[in-house]
């Protein structure tokens, strides 16, 4: 299986990034599922579980984001593509939405609905678009803009 993450300066950084990058995404998807369940059932178990999931997801998001920060913004001999920069910003915005979601989950009872679901959808959507863009960049799916002009002699 070929990793879909960008190549970093060291193999260790690439291995750690490949290991930890999917973990927050799984927690945030779980948060979305639990938030939807809480909005439909009003059983407080779902709200408490979603609060834990978003908090643990944010904890596990620290390491891969620091590696990505170093890869994208610190100068090196490797070129950084615009897709990798886009992935960085999408992940950053997704984590900001997740932080907001964690604060929303600190409210009492049903006061978290519907903002918890909205922030969970935003978080999962931003992280998904970033991963899809990285996958397309990794496997060579490039969009061409315009048409190739032919010169007549």
Residue corresponding to tokens 């290991």 = 19
The distance in angstroms from the start CA to the end CA of the chain is 49
Residue-by-residue DSSP string for the chain:
----SPP-SSHHHHHHHHHHTHHHHHHHHHHHHHHHHHHHH--HHHHHHHHHHHHHHHHHTHHHHHHHHHHHHS--SS---HHHHHHHHHHHHHHHHHHHHHHHTTS-GGGGTTHHHHHHHHHHHHHHHHHHHHHHHHTT-----S-------
pLDDT at 143: 55
Residue 2, pLDDT > 80, answer: no
Give the model confidence (pLDDT) of 111-133 as tens digits. 999 999 999 999 999 999 999 99
Residues 132, 139: Cα–Cα separation, whole Å? 11
Contact 88, 68 (CB under 8 A): yes
Please give the pLDDT value at position 27: 98
Window from 58-72, 87-101, 136-150 with minimum mean pLDDT: 136-150
With a cut of 80, say whether residue 6 has pLDDT above it.
no
Report yes or no on whether pTM surpasses 0.75.
Answer: yes
Q: Please determine, for residue 147, whether its predicted confidence score (pLDDT) is greater than 90.
A: no
User: 17-49 burial string, b = 16+ CB within 10 Å, else e?
Assistant: beebbebbbebbbbbbbbbbbbbeeeeeebbeb
pLDDT tens digits for 28-84? Answer: 999 999 999 999 999 999 999 999 999 999 999 999 999 999 988 887 777 888 998
pLDDT of residue 148: 53
């Amino acid at each position: 299986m070929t990793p879909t993450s960008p190549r970093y300066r060291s193999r260790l950084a690439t291995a750690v990034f490949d290991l930890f990058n999917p973990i927050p995404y799984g927690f945030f998807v779980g948060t979305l599922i639990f938030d939807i369940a809480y909005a439909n059932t009003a059983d407080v178990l779902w709200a408490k579980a979603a609060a834990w999931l978003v908090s643990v997801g944010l904890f596990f998001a620290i390491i891969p984001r620091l590696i990505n920060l170093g890869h994208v913004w610190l100068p090196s001999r490797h070129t950084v593509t615009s897709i990798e920069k886009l992935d960085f910003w999408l992940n950053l915005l997704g984590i900001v939405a997740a932080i907001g979601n964690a604060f929303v989950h600190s409210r009492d009872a049903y006061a978290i609905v519907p903002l918890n679901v909205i922030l969970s959808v935003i978080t999962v959507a931003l992280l998904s678009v970033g991963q899809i863009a990285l996958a397309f960049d990794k496997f060579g799916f490039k969009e061409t803009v315009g048409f190739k002009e032919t010169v007549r002699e």
